[in-house]
Amino acid sequence: MGELIIRKIHQKDNAKVASLIRAILLDMGVPKVGTAYEDTALDNMYLEYDKEKSSYFVAEKGEEILGCAGIAPLQGAAESISELQKMYVAQEARGQGVAQKLMEACIAAAKYFGFESCNLETIPNMTAAHRLYAKNDFHFIEERMGDTGHYSSPVFMLKKL
């Protein structure tokens, strides 16, 4: 089936990525309202991340996209703060280091772009993700930073870069 490759998203990946993300969110019981599920950007992630200080990565094995994650400026916050965004891994690829490799690509990009810290928002039942974030020096914080519009994502974490 091939080797796992982490690469920047291509325009041809848009439909696969949107489908993957929405399927994962539904499988995890994430609300459709107030979360990434309803983001119009999901249908054109290539264009959404074709901006300054932004990158979106896919984890690909053969022709199959197994995961994805992005880095961008945190909306409504200081210019020095980035946000780890829309990081998802297909059920069959979990526990194989895919999320770790995606996160490493995003953090490397954030450092390259000159950000000083990285924020993320998630939901309480994504405990495996919380462990991964903590292992990578993200710490829980009490209050939301910025203005993502994801009011149904009440868990906040921050990492100094």
For range 82-104, the mean pLDDT: 95
The overall average pLDDT reported for the chain is 91
Give 100 or 36, the one with higher predicted confidence: 100
Task: Grade residue 136 by pLDDT with cuts at 50, 70 and 90.
Answer: very high
Distance separating the N- and C-terminal Cα atoms of the chain: 35
Give 144 or 28, the one with higher predicted confidence.
Answer: 144
Helices and strands in the chain: count of H runs, count of E runs: 4, 7
Q: What average pLDDT does range 87-92 have in this prediction?
A: 94
Is it the case that residue 76 has pLDDT exceeding 80?
Answer: yes
Cα atoms in the Cβ-side hemisphere of radius 13 Å centred on 31:
11
Mean pLDDT score, 27-37: 71
Taking 80 as the threshold, does the pLDDT of residue 26 lie above it? Answer: yes
- Between the alpha carbon of residue 12 and those of residues 16, 23, 89, 98, the distances in Å are 8, 19, 19, 21
What structural domains does the chain harbor?
Answer: 4-160 (3.40.630.30)
* Rounded Cα distance, 139 and 157, in Å: 5
